[in-house]
């Protein structure tokens, strides 16, 4: 899809540019445990700094309930962003109030300021258009142009994502452009075989994307908690594993559609079955069609990991969204590690590989993979899923050229 770019905004020297970034990073107290999203914002921010713009960044962190909450302050982000940019980044103590106005007024050419967590203002996520538009107007008053660079939120109709883009000259930032180009490559004219690996906990989170991919992909590889609903749809008992019983009939329909269309569905043949949901739980490898009562699957088994890897490594276009097991527990990370390595192998073999944000991107980093081994690591889990689903994303549509 065609969107306006920073180049379309003309000469930005001395102009105040509002940038919507995604700084929803994981925190341990005030310590950022993964700064990937901050680093992903640097190409856009550095370009604007080099152009002499006065850069005003708005972003969110966590899910505050529409009011200031110290645990969700962007103070740690401002500090880390300053370190990465090599300049002090002033943090306003409010979203659009007196502190924001004073902080923006004090900016010089090439300087960057950060507004406090935009979700401290309930109007940001309001379902009432007039409320969002009011906040958007106050944000727009701080700037002369708008750059949308928070791909993780472009599927949301929110004040700082959608409404403000209608009030100012608006363009997509470097990160959003990169995401759109990569995901378009996987959806519009994928080189084949086109392999999609889906994991994560729930089938219901991925209903739309599965339905859409059954018309596009050559092969769907299914792991994570959602695999148990597929096994149940085949008539197998899944013990006390995560199961969405209300989705069994839907999954049966997917299996039938896949058979009709010649789309290969790859399911595990063995499972790591644990006695409880714990890092040190007693576990054993069992056949996927014979999970004992009272046990829960927390990862795919070694036979499945090897098979999944072989089904991924020959892909010319590979999209992965969702871990294969509870990768945060080292004992149950092997399946996810095998899939990540298979994507690295596919990349090395000339394939185009996408890690679809969220937990998958976190797993890549936690398990120690070099990010350069993948063609693209998305910063937006939900946004990338909706893009793959074929939905119109409000935050992109509003940037249309």
- DSSP state letters, 34-80: --HHHHHTHHHHHHHHHTT-EEEEE---S---SS--GGG-SHHHHHH
pLDDT surpasses 90 at 389: no
Is 318 in contact with 348 (CB distance < 8 Å)? no
Give the mean model confidence (pLDDT) for residues 276-305: 97
The residue whose two tokens read 């409000």 is 394
Give 242-281 pLDDT, tens digit per residue: 999 999 999 999 999 999 999 999 999 999 999 999 999 9
Does 283 map to a domain? Answer: yes
Establish whether 382 is a catalytic residue: yes
Could you report the per-residue pLDDT of 64-107, keeping only the tens digit for each?
999 999 999 999 999 999 999 999 999 999 999 999 999 999 99
pLDDT in tens, 348-375: 999 999 998 778 998 998 999 999 999 9
- Indicate whether 350 and 278 sit together in one domain: yes
Given a cut of 80, whether residue 1 has pLDDT beyond it is: no
**Contacts with 310 (C-beta within 8 Å, 6 or more apart), sequence order:** 342
Q: Is the pLDDT of residue 394 over 80?
A: yes
Same-domain check for residues 235 and 370:
yes
Same domain for 217 and 334, yes or no, is: yes
Triad 190, 196, 201: Cα angle to 5°: 150
192 among annotated binding-site residues:
no
Identify whether 351 is a catalytic site residue: no
Residues 223 and 119 in one domain: no
Q: How many CB atoms lie within 10 A of CB 55?
A: 29
What the block records as the tokens of 329 is 């527990």
The predicted structure's pLDDT at residue 2: 81
| Residues paired with residue 355 on neighbouring β-strands, in sequence order | 320, 377
- 173, 199, 351, 358: which one is catalytic? 358
Does 74 share its domain with 192? Answer: no
Verify whether residue 37 is a known catalytic residue: yes
Residues 299/335, Cβ–Cβ less than 8 Å: yes
Task: With beta carbons less than 8 A apart as the criterion, state whether 142 and 18 touch.
Answer: yes
Q: Do 70 and 98 reside in the same domain of the chain?
A: yes
Residues 96 and 190 in one domain: no
The two most distant CA atoms of the chain are separated, in Å, by 67
The answer on whether 294 is annotated among ligand-binding residues is: no
Domain boundary among 134, 152, 175: 175
146 lies in the same domain as 190: no
CATH at 139: 3.40.50.1260
* Active-site choice (315, 322, 356, 382): 382
- Last residue of one domain, picked from the residues 175, 205, 231: 175
Inside any domain, residue 400: no
Question: Which residue intervals of 207-353 are DSSP H helices?
Answer: 207-213, 227-233, 248-261, 302-313, 334-348
Whether 23 has a binding-site annotation, put simply, is yes
Q: Is 202 among the catalytic positions?
A: yes
CA distance 181 to 189: 12
Answering whether pTM is above 0.85, one says yes
- Give the range of the structural domain holding residue 154, as residue numbers without chain letter: 6-175
Q: How far apart are the first and last CA of the chain?
A: 9
Is 67 inside any structural domain? yes
Kindly report, residue by residue over 105-119, the tens digit of the pLDDT.
Answer: 999 999 999 999 999
In a domain, 386, yes or no: no
Examine residue 393 and state whether it is found in any structural domain, yes or no: no
224: left (phi over 0), alpha (psi -120 to 50) or beta: left
Q: Are residues 91 and 197 in the same domain?
A: no
Q: What is the tally of structural domains in the chain?
A: 2
Annotated binding-site residue? 328: yes
Same domain? For 217 and 162 the reply is no
> Helices 334-348 and 302-313, interaxial angle, to 10°?
20
Q: How far apart are CA 305 and CA 288, in angstroms?
A: 13
Assess if residue 385 is contained within a domain.
no
When the pLDDT of each residue in the chain is averaged and rounded to a whole number, the result is 95
110 is in an annotated binding site: no
Q: Give yes or no: residues 37 and 152 share one domain.
A: yes
Is 358 annotated as a binding-site member?
A: yes
Q: Is residue 398's pLDDT more than 60?
A: yes
What are the CA-CA distances from residue 381 to residues 69, 90, 150, 322, 359 (Å)? Answer: 25, 29, 12, 9, 8
Element (H, E) at 237: none
Task: Say whether 206 counts as a known binding-site residue.
Answer: yes
Answer yes or no: is 401 within a domain. no
Q: Is the pLDDT of residue 45 over 70?
A: yes
Catalytic site residue from 47, 202, 252, 391: 202
Q: Answer with the one of 175, 201, 223 that is the final residue of a domain.
A: 175
pLDDT in tens, 155-175: 999 999 999 999 999 999 999
Burial profile 242-267: b = 16 or more Cβ within 10 angstroms, e = fewer: bbbeebbebbbebbeebeeeebebbb
62 assigned ligand-binding residue: yes
Q: What is the DSSP string of 126-188?
A: -SSHHHHHHHHHHHHTT-SEEEE--GGGTTS--IIIIIGGGTS-EEE-HHHHHHHHHHHHHHT
Residues 354 and 216 in one domain: yes
> For position 400, what pLDDT does the model report?
85
Residue 61 marked ligand-binding: yes
pLDDT band at 401 (very low <50, low <70, confident <90, very high): low
Question: Is 358 among the domain residues?
Answer: yes
Say which of 20, 37, 132, 337 is annotated catalytic.
37
CB atoms within 10 A of CB 269: 13
Please indicate if the annotation marks 24 as binding a ligand. Answer: yes
């Amino acid at each position: 899809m065609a969107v306006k770019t920073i180049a379309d905004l003309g000469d930005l020297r001395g102009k105040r540019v509002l940038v919507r970034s995604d700084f929803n990073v994981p925190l341990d107290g005030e310590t950022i445990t993964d700064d990937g999203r901050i680093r992903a914002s640097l190409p856009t921010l550095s370009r604007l700094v080099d152009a002499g713009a006065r850069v005003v960044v708005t972003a969110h962190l966590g899910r505050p309930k529409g009011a200031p909450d110290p645990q969700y302050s962007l103070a740690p982000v401002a500090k880390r962003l300053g370190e990465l940019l090599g300049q002090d980044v002033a943090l306003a103590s409010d979203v659009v109030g007196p502190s924001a106005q004073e902080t923006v007024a004090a900016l010089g050419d090439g300087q960057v300021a950060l507004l406090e967590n935009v979700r401290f203002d309930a109007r940001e996520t309001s379902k009432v258009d007039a409320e969002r538009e009011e906040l958007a107007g106050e944000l727009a008053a701080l700037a002369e142009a708008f750059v949308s660079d928070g791909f993780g939120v472009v599927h949301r109709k929110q004040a700082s994502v959608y409404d403000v883009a209608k009030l100012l000259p608006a363009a997509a930032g470097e990160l959003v452009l990169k995401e759109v180009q990569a995901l378009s490559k996987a959806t519009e004219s994928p080189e084949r075989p086109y392999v999609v690996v889906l994991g994560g906990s729930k089938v219901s989170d991925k209903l739309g994307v599965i339905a859409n991919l059954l018309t596009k992909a050559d092969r769907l590889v299914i792991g994570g908690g959602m695999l148990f609903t597929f096994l149940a749809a085949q008539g197998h008992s899944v013990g006390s594993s995560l199961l969405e019983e209300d989705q069994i009939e839907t999954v049966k329909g997917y299996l039938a559609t896949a058979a009709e269309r010649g789309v290969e569905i790859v399911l595990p043949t063995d499972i790591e079955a644990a006695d409880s949901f714990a890092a040190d739980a007693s576990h054993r490898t069992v056949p996927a069609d014979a999970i004992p009562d009272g046990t829960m699957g927390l990862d795919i088994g070694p036979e499945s990991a090897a098979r999944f890897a072989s089904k991924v490594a020959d892909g010319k276009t590979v999209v992965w969204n969702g871990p294969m097991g509870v990768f945060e527990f080292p004992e149950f990370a092997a399946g996810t590690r095998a899939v990540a390595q298979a994507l690295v192998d596919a990349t090395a073999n000339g394939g185009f590989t996408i890690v679809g944000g969220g937990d998958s991107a976190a797993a890549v980093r936690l398990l120690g993979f070099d990010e350069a081994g993948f063609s693209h690591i998305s910063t937006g889990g939900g946004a990338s899923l909706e893009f793959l689903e074929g939905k119109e994303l409000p935050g992109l549509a509003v940037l249309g050229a």
